[in-house]
Amino acid sequence: MMTTTIIWTIVILSGLGLLLALVLFFIAKKFKVEEDPRIDEVEAVMPGANCGGCGFAGCRAFADAAVKAPNLDNNYCPVGGNEVMKKVAGILGYEVKEKAPQVAVVRCNGTCENRPRTNVYDGASSCKVKAALYFGDTGCQWGCLGCGDCVAACQFGALSMDPVTGLPVVDESKCTACGSCVKACPKGVIELRNKGPRGMRVFVSCVNRDKGAVARKACIASCIGCGKCVKTCSNEAITVENNLAYIDFAKCKLCKKCVEACPTGSIHAVNFPIIKKKEENNE
């Protein structure tokens, strides 16, 4: 009695399993989703950060879009850069347009020293909230608010707040130019700029569009729109609009004349081998 029950159970369950397996097999055959195998291949060479810097939801979505697109003109992975894009192009047989590597640049000089605090903000620690409430705790309504929305937005740990200056600092070795911080900043202080040869670049570290006197009163290192830099520039790389100078990084030849010409010191030149020269002088 006991043995027959066990045998029947085994037979019925095995039969059921076999039957369902067959049903599943045929359904899988019949409704098979054809997927381009290249999507998997492309995804495999992607950085896998899912940061959304390319404009898609993640690396898989990017791979899908890249495979379906007729060329790679509108699809570029800023994190992987040219290397990854070359691999992607190799898989898909497309040509890739090389892009100069970029980096996030904080365009604000408003350190605690340069830009005195005029009031105390004790609301929620978020730049977005602060920007919606009022012009900020300094006289400058354009510059960095210092609550670190960009730091929170960075998925690569490339941004940190400097407790002394109250401004965010970009770690260039970690920054992938994905642009999350640019989107997170309600004041539009951060910009993606070409990294430049050996990281050397010249930029206006200010976004103040107030008239010179007003800007200067709020922050001693602000751009006052005087136009001296425009006159010194021999490459026509600098334009002044709304009392604010802007250097076109595509035209800039890194001569640094504008840095010397700027009366407020709002034009910054970074990663130039200046420090070595100074040391030589000191010696």
Supply the minimum distance, in Å, between the C-beta of residue 211 and other proteins.
Answer: 10
- Euclidean distance between CA atoms 139 and 124, whole angstroms: 20
Supply the minimum distance, in Å, between the C-beta of residue 140 and other proteins.
Answer: 10
Give whichever of 11 and 124 is closer to other proteins, judged by the CB atom: 124
CB 150 within 8 A of CB 107: no
Q: Is 242 in the site for other proteins (CB under 8 A)?
A: no
Give whichever of 121 and 272 is closer to other proteins, judged by the CB atom: 121
Give whichever of 65 and 214 is closer to other proteins, judged by the CB atom: 214
Give whichever of 129 and 240 is closer to other proteins, judged by the CB atom: 129
Fill in the per-residue mask, 104 to 143: x = in contact with other proteins (CB under 8 A), - = not in contact. Answer: --------------xx--xxxxx-xx--xxxxxx---x--
Bridging pattern class, strands 201-204 and 168-170: unpaired
Give whichever of 131 and 269 is closer to other proteins, judged by the CB atom: 131
Q: Which two tokens stand for residue 212?
A: 């010179």
Q: Is 213 in the site for other proteins (CB under 8 A)?
A: no
Return the residue matching tokens 């105390």: 120
Nearest alpha-carbon partner for 191 in 242, 144, 253, 128: 144
Q: How far is CA 79 from CA 7, 46, 51, 177, 192, in A?
A: 61, 9, 9, 6, 13
Fill in the per-residue mask, 71 to 110: x = in contact with other proteins (CB under 8 A), - = not in contact. Answer: ----------------------------------------
Supply the minimum distance, in Å, between the C-beta of residue 49 and other proteins.
Answer: 19
Residues in CB range of 73: below 8 A, 6 or more apart:
97
Give whichever of 23 and 133 is closer to other proteins, judged by the CB atom: 133
Supply the minimum distance, in Å, between the C-beta of residue 118 and other proteins.
Answer: 7
- Euclidean distance between CA atoms 51 and 33, whole angstroms: 28
What backbone torsions phi and psi does residue 224 show, to the nearest 5 degrees? Answer: -105, 5
Supply the minimum distance, in Å, between the C-beta of residue 16 and other proteins.
Answer: 42
- Euclidean distance between CA atoms 264 and 121, whole angstroms: 27
Return the residue matching tokens 């997927």: 35
Supply the minimum distance, in Å, between the C-beta of residue 137 and other proteins.
Answer: 8
Residues that bind other proteins (CB under 8 A): 118-119, 122-126, 128-129, 132-137, 141
